Amino acid sequence: MKKVWVSAILSFIFPGLGHLYLGRVLKGLFFVIVNIVSILFTGNILGILVFLLNWIFSILDSIKTTKVINSTV
């Protein structure tokens, strides 16, 4: 059983870490790469918007994925 709060906090700290904790490596790496690229482009509004959307979606998706994983166990 994976803990919802652990995956949420890891995703809050850095998007993608929660998915790596859950064993969803490709999805986690995708969030990590999008986050790094968006940080490089935070000099404009689009980079900031992508960063915020990626951060929020990563947290919400890791919570949802944790619940799905725990329900199948």
Per-residue pLDDT of the chain (73 residues; tens, 9 = 90+): 999 999 999 999 999 999 999 999 999 999 999 999 999 998 899 999 999 999 999 999 999 999 999 998 6
pTM of this structure: 0.90
- Where along the chain do its domains lie? 4-72
Torsional sign, CA 25, 54, 7, 70: negative
68 by Cβ neighbours in 10 Å (0-12 / 13-18 / 19+) ranks as exposed
Residues 6+ away with beta carbon under 8 Å from 10: 17, 18, 20, 21, 62
